[in-house]
Structure 1
Amino acid sequence: MGATRDGDQSICLRCGEAGGSVRERGRISLMARYCEKCWNTLANEMAEADGATAAPRFELDPDDVAWIEPPVCPECGASIRVYPTNYGRWVSLAMVELPAKDVPEAFRWRLTRLPARSLIPADIVAVRVRGIDPLPSEPVVPAHSMMCVPDWGEP
């Protein structure tokens, strides 16, 4: 039998580069080993396909006790929820959950708690629902783009 490269875990799966920027990527279950360049290319392609093109939410000061309003959509003025995806990009989601039967496949998301050592969830990420279709009555979070109706003002 010939030698395999199983033991060498520092090789990018896309370009074959070996080096310091090659590491496990992804936030929930580590997706695969990629170099920085290949990972950014892949994550940007996934974000474009999923519609995950929102700007990252601002960092909160843990000592600030001021009331925080949810961000609003610049197109329609509705409140939105902005969450990171499992591949490190950001998506704007609707404020409500709907049954899967009412949300087209391309707009279905779920919010998932990241595993942590404590019982208190450290972070929540948005994951596109794909592969296995949810039951028609199962709740999903629609992408805000599905519900966005631009307010162009009155004629």
Structure 2
Amino acid sequence: MAELCDTCWNDFANDLAEYEGATAPPRPEPGPEDFEWIEPPECPECHGEIRAFPTNYDRWVYLAPHEAPAKEIPSRYRWRLMEIPRLYSHVAVRMAATHPLPGELVRPAHVAVCVSPDAVAAVEEARESDLRRGQPREPDDFGDAQLRGRRDING
């Protein structure tokens, strides 16, 4: 396993955050003398409630306040909350390598439940991408055209 310098780590973490949509600002930390109520943030587009959670690579992501079945959320927007002792109460981890069962509950990124036109378009594109990945490929996609050419040459 390689170690990265601080500059390289920040570049890598920022690129990963951009790809995963973890571009939320951190939650404000109240001071020891601060007794004001901190309201949960709301989406500027749909005015729905959002929750900011730290990721496992020190960036923040806005997630929906409630879980949803995995079959309803495109794979790009599926997150889980993991309990990490002594760091935060929960850390958001994107479910990139694992495929949950259709009925398993996941925490969707806010964009997956947002009703703004841009968010709806992005979610539909992600759904179509999931469908394309799940459909069988055409025979030529497997290189069968090349195999047919070899058969013709080899008799």
**Alignment TM-score, normalising by the size of structure 2:** 0.68
User: Structure 1 residue 67 and structure 2 residue 37: aligned?
Assistant: yes
* Partner SS for 2:8: helix
CA deviation vs aligned residue, 1:18-70 (integer Å, no higher than 9, x gap)? xxxxxxxxxxxxxxx22101100110111011011111111123554443321
- Could you list the runs of 5+ residues in structure 1 that have no partner in the other structure? 1-5, 7-12, 14-32
Instruction: Quote the Cα distance in structure 1 between the aligned partners of 2:32 and 2:21.
Output: 30
Q: Percent identity?
A: 52
By how many angstroms is 1:150 displaced? 2.8
**Alignment TM-score, normalising by the size of structure 1:** 0.68
User: Higher helix proportion, which one?
Assistant: 2
User: Structure 1 residue 113 and structure 2 residue 83: aligned?
Assistant: yes
Task: Let me know the Cα RMSD of the aligned residues.
Answer: 2.0
Instruction: Quote the Cα distance in structure 2 between the aligned partners of 1:115 and 1:99.
Output: 27
| Structure 1 counterpart of 2:19 | 49
- Could you list the runs of 5+ residues in structure 2 that have no partner in the other structure? 118-155
| Structure 1 counterpart of 2:144 | none
By how many angstroms is 1:75 displaced? 1.4
Structure 1 or 2, whichever has the larger Rg, is 2
Count residues in correspondence.
Answer: 117
* Partner SS for 1:110: strand
CA deviation vs aligned residue, 1:71-99 (integer Å, no higher than 9, x gap)? 11111111100011000111000011001
User: Higher strand proportion, which one?
Assistant: 1
User: Structure 1 residue 129 and structure 2 residue 95: aligned?
Assistant: yes
By how many angstroms is 1:115 displaced? 2.8
Instruction: Quote the Cα distance in structure 1 between the aligned partners of 2:46 and 2:77.
Output: 18
| Structure 1 counterpart of 2:104 | 138
Instruction: Quote the Cα distance in structure 2 between the aligned partners of 1:122 and 1:150.
Output: 31
By how many angstroms is 1:128 displaced? 0.2
* Partner SS for 2:52: strand
- The AA in structure 2 aligned to 1:131 is A
